[in-house]
Structure 1
Amino acid sequence: MPSPHQSAPAGATPPVIAVVGPTGSGKSDLAVSLALELDGEVINADSMQFYRGMDIGTAKITDAERRGVPHHLLDILEVTEEASVSAFQQQARALIGDIHGRGKRAILAGGSGLYVRAALDILEFPGTDPEIRRRLEMELETAGPGALRERLEAVDPVSAGRLGDARRIIRALEVFELTGRPFSSFMPAREYFQPAVQIGLDVDRELLRERLARRVEAMVAKGLLEEVRRLDAAGLRHGKTAPRALGYAQFLRVLDGGSSLAQATDETIIATRQFARRQLTWFRADPRVHWLDWQDPDLAARAAVLCRTPPVLPVA
């Protein structure tokens, strides 16, 4: 095996690196350490960190924490704009090509599982049609989500059983009308678009639960409510994606007088823990992820070895 400081063979395409795992596990810190060790640049793959001004509630990495490492795809959207997985795929792949073309390493960091897969895997995105979308949204208002779910069950039972909220049901019906194919048929096999290595942070779940509670409490102390107030004035609740971010929905209710600060804090802690469990379920389902102990004092060095000499695994 090459030493940890041995470079990739001349002419070889280095694998894209992705640091994945649940929120609060230390992905951003590890990505920066890897970038410093491997002469890399970080690409954000957390969909809520695309938004300008959503800093405290998303635990967005600060300039000081970046330690001089270039970071991409942070602060690229206003809170009124909708995040798009397909747009992210194009942007991330263009950045990967640019970073590798300059002889550096591209490092994805984030817990938005579908966004990570969009950058790494062969994944096709069907188009959109605003007219079909508007019609379906009007049907949702008049007939309710039950009627739309019944229609989806008739044409795409797999998606009907998998999708929980009305927005995704509308998207699945839109795709079927556009393409004649069930939305579920667009889900990819686990096949990398180009060489890649995924590093997962293996957490102690009870310790993570406590860390997440402390982190939310620290966000509140730093001024999360004031951040939400500023973003509300900038149109936060009129956006399609940003208002659903952890903490922001809960603290908007404080502004509306429907919840106390303590209630919003507790609700955000619960929602964050639930989200972390879903993230773990998502990433654990991918056999290509190499799991490392999040508290290992040699974590960065062990991850760097994997990134220089990634094992070849069969496609799942």
Structure 2
Amino acid sequence: MPREQQNTRLVAVVGPTGTGKSDLAVALALALDGEVINADSMQFYRGMDIGTAKLTTAQRCGVPHHLLDVLDVREEASAAGFQRQARDVVAEALARGKVPILVGGSGLYLRAALDVLEFPGTDQAVRRRLEAELDELGFESMLSRLLAVDPVSAGRIGDGKRLVRALEVHELSGRPFSSFMPVREYVRPTVQVGLSLERSVLRGRLADRVHRMVGEGLLEEVAELDRRGLRAGKTASRALGYRQFLRVMDGQAGIDQASAETIVATAQFARRQMTWFRADPRVGWLDAQRPDLLEAALTAVRESAVVGVRLKNDD
């Protein structure tokens, strides 16, 4: 068993899109005798390959990959569902003596897998009733109701949808919605490796990637997924690139315009991702362009494993 594997239970490779997380995850898996677990919410979907930069079978280099291609484009992804699946896969990999390596840029999904985080239940009947009451009584009246049972949430909420959700959670659970907020507490020992790039370099890389996707057949992929019900999918239809190229299908934009819009939207998304991950002090950051990236990542894994991390339990 490699020395690194003896001290490490779970590794996560995080950061903004376009920084090479998937490639590093494969390299780490090969070095650590590990398996990769996808935490990119758009790579859950079968057929969404080019537009999500999903690694090909050859690029996976024989490393087992989990939670890729598990949903039809009509299905809705959920962080709660992913939490259950990812934790099961992690436990199964550990039972086989493998190092599980989560990789992706979907911040909430990663937090769901790594951290102490509860997802409150939902009830469509209760929600519809509360929505009707909101229409009848108005925002301020319903906010006053929430203030009486959950002043923390009431002070944060500024729209009807979140107001209804907070009231629904309290009615179903008897607990304030604010009590379900995540804490930065791992459910098992974890090392997070973050990849970053200087902003102008990342913008150029993202633009090149979009143009490459178009050359590889992104429009044809969107057309095929459209025939399979892409527009009916609440999650998949909003994916970067797919949303823009559906407009090409509808004659509302040309390929050049859709490409430019995708580049802008992807750069904006990358900035939001960086803001999310930078807020987590547990992430150890590496320059994605450094020539010794793999060795630096392995060093980070070893040192973090030896020093230890704050965690809830080590089961």
TM-score by length of 2: 0.87
* C-alpha distance in 2 between matches for 1:276 and 1:149: 36
CA contact (8 A) 2:44 2:71 kept: yes
| d(CA) in 1 for partners of 2:27, 2:268 | 28
Deviation at 1:152, TM superposition (A): 5.8
> Contact 1:80–1:235 (CA<8 Å) still a contact in 2?
yes
Equivalent residues in 2 for 1:12-27, closer than 5 Å:
14-27=8-21
Partner Cα distance (1:252, 1:298) in 2: 40
Q: Distance in 1 between matches of 2:140 and 2:18?
A: 34
Give 1:22-101 correspondences, 5 Å limit.
22-101=16-95
2:315 pairs with 1:312: no
Amino acid corresponding to residue 79 of structure 1 in structure 2: V
Q: In the aligned structure 2, how far is the partner of 1:291 from the partner of 1:168?
A: 33
Moved more, 82-91 or 257-266: 257-266
Q: Which string of whole-angstrom CA distances, capped at 9 and with x for unpartnered residues, describes residues 75-120 of structure 1? A: 0000010101111111111111111111110000000001111111
Identity rate, percent:
62
Equivalences for residues 129-168 of structure 1 within 5 A: 129-134=123-128, 151=142, 155=146, 156-160=153-157
Instruction: Find out whether 1:6 has 2:7 as its counterpart.
Output: no
Give the match's secondary structure for 2:157. Answer: helix
- Deviation by residue 1:45-81 (Cα, 9 ceiling, x = unmatched): 0001000011111111111110110000000000010
Amino acid across the alignment from 2:121: G
Please report the RMSD computed on the Cα atoms of aligned residues, expressed in angstroms.
2.5
Is the Cα contact below 8 Å between 1:50 and 1:77 reproduced in 2? yes
After superposition, the C-alpha distances for 1:217-261 in whole angstroms (9 at most, x for unaligned) are 111111111111111111111111111111111111111222222
Q: Which residue of 2 aligns with 1:111?
A: 105
The C-alpha deviation readout for 1:138-183, integer Å capped at 9, x for no partner, is 889xx6xxx669846863335525x8xx876664454344334443
Contact 2:166 2:177 in 1 (8 A): yes
Q: For this pair of structures, how many residues does the alignment match?
A: 301
1:257 — aligned with what?
Answer: 251
Name the stretch that deviates more: 105-114 or 293-302. Answer: 293-302
Q: How far did 1:262 drift? A: 1.6
Could you say if the C-alpha distance between residues 283 and 7 of structure 1 is closer, same or farther in structure 2, counting changes exceeding 3 Å? closer
Unpaired runs of 5+ in structure 2? 147-152
1:188-199 correspondence runs (5 A): 188-199=182-193
Distance (whole Å) between structure 2 residues aligned to residue 221 and residue 153 of structure 1: 55
**Rounded Cα–Cα distance in structure 1 between residues aligned with 2:126 and 2:69:** 30
**What secondary structure sits across from 2:71 in the alignment?**
coil
Question: Partners of 2:228 and 2:162 in 1: how far apart?
Answer: 26
2:154 maps to amino acid: P
Tell me the amino acid that sits aligned with residue 27 of structure 2: S
Q: Distance in 2 between matches of 1:124 and 1:22?
A: 25
Structure 1's unaligned 5+ residue stretches are none
Could you say what secondary structure the match of 2:223 adopts? Answer: helix
TM-score, normalisation: structure 1: 0.87
Contact residue 57 and residue 248 of structure 1 kept, 8 A: yes
Q: Deviation string for 1:110-140 (max 9, x for gaps)?
A: 0000111111101111112132345567889
How far is 1:296 from its partner? 1.1
Query: Equivalent residue for 2:150?
Result: none
Whole-angstrom CA distance in 1 between matches of 2:46 and 2:163: 28
Partner-residue secondary structure (3-state), 2:117: coil
For 1:291, what is the secondary structure of its paired residue?
Answer: strand
Q: Which of these residues, 194, 199, 203, is aligned with residue 197 of structure 2? A: 203
| 1:116-127 equivalence runs, <5 A | 116-127=110-121
Structure 1 residue 291 corresponds to structure 2 residue 277: no
SS at match of 1:119: helix
